[in-house]
Amino acid sequence: MRRFINIFIISMCILIPAVALAQKTGDINKAGTTAAKFLRLDIGARAYALGGAYVPIAEDATAMVYNPAGLAKMGKAALSYHNVDLYADIRHQFVGLVIPTAMERTTIGFYINSVNYGTIFRTSIEDQSAANQQYIFSSSQSYGMSIARQVTDRVFLGVSSKFIIEKIWLDTANGFAFDVGAIYEPGVGGLRLGVSVRNLGPDMRMDRGPETTFTKIPETTLPGIRSIPARLITDKFNLPIVFNVGFSFDLVGPTSMLLTNDVHKFAIISEINDAFDAPLRSIVGAEYTWKDMLSLRGGTRQNYDLFEYSFGAGLKIPVRNSEILFDYAYADYGDLEGVYVASFEIRF
């Protein structure tokens, strides 16, 4: 059995990236065809450092975004904050609150996921200058709630719902979506299997409200025809639905089948994601942990256009019955340059 597990893990480590690399980019490129694209941004310095390979090991407040089933593994209340200044002056922030409930093995959580795209001068086809000194502001937010439950000692299930708002100057789009996820722990060698489907919901459409209503004046060549009320209708766009499946395996650690060690832990995380607007992709990450306090991480992705690599570190500080977690990461996005990510979480 042990030999079979080892062969399986090694095979998956090789096959998951290979499958993604073997995929064609597709005859039809759907990049840029979805609404609320910010829902696909990574959240949390730990996830960033691992390249985004997080579905099987999500066990903090950001699990509400990656895999809500991970909330059931926390056991404590938690308050989490994430901040990153992305490329092109984009700021991404996340605040999450996790609360164990009176119901046995059930945890709930609430979060705000916000992206500020900054401001630009407003121009028009007739006037390309910024002489009017008028700015255009754009932003995106999602307000979510999650619930997770430990069904058995090996199975964890979770679901999230979220209300979505996107604004570009006077235009607004509203929508809602659901995420579902599961984590399975066979109890062998620290193996974890995770799966999630994110951003399931109806299409979204930009609308300017009353400003898109106007009166159509008939042609002067057609006298006697009254003015006709009219309204501009924009197109609908799909949400960025994505299916993730991955696994984590401890090469070294207390439960490792290869090298048992109570002080050092080294895990490999591998994940495949299949998105509506992108080809099949894969991620591989690695994490070393010393005494469950200090962690070093790194990750890489396959079949992504710009992402190069990422790495980072984390520190867990026990304070009486609480824990304070600091995480920091760097991710290199090639032509878009690198970003620095900081996260903070307190568990009490």
* Per-residue pLDDT reduced to its tens digit, 103-158: 878 899 999 999 998 877 777 666 666 556 677 788 999 999 999 999 888 889 99
H/E stretch holding 65: helix 63-66
User: Cα–Cα distance between 94 and 104 in angstroms, integer?
Assistant: 28
Please name every residue paired with 252 in a beta bridge, in sequence order, or none if there are none: 259, 266
**pTM confidence score:** 0.81
User: Cα–Cα distance between 181 and 243 in angstroms, integer?
Assistant: 10
User: Cα–Cα distance between 140 and 172 in angstroms, integer?
Assistant: 10
Tell which residue, 219, 276, 208, 258, has the closest CA to residue 40: 276
Residue ranges and CATH numbers for the domains of the chain are: 2-114+147-163+180-200+238-347 (2.40.160.60)
The contacts of residue 177 (CB under 8 Å, 6+ apart) are 36, 39, 161, 162, 164, 198, 199, 200, 201, 239
Task: Tell me how many helices (H) and strands (E) the chain has.
Answer: 3, 19
User: Cα–Cα distance between 79 and 287 in angstroms, integer?
Assistant: 23
Chain centroid to CA 135? 29
The contacts of residue 100 (CB under 8 Å, 6+ apart) are 74, 75, 76, 77, 106, 107
Residue with tokens 């490999």: 268
Virtual CA dihedral for 128, 168, 234, 220, nearest 10 degrees?
Answer: -40
User: Cα–Cα distance between 112 and 204 in angstroms, integer?
Assistant: 19
Which portions of the chain are predicted below pLDDT 70?
Answer: 1-32, 124-133, 209-228
pLDDT at site 337: 79
Tell which residue, 82, 93, 101, 204, has the closest CA to residue 146: 101
pLDDT at site 234: 77
pLDDT at site 180: 92
User: Cα–Cα distance between 278 and 276 in angstroms, integer?
Assistant: 6
For the record, the structure tokens of 36 come out as 């609320």
Q: 49 in helix, strand or coil? A: helix
Residue with tokens 């501009």: 232
pLDDT at site 105: 85
Q: Which amino acid is at 304?
A: Y
pLDDT at site 162: 95
81-100 pLDDT per residue, tens: 999 888 878 899 999 999 98
H/E stretch holding 93: strand 91-100
User: Cα–Cα distance between 74 and 47 in angstroms, integer?
Assistant: 16
The backbone torsions φ and ψ at residue 46, rounded to the nearest 5 degrees and listed phi first, read: -65, -45
The contacts of residue 261 (CB under 8 Å, 6+ apart) are 252, 253, 254
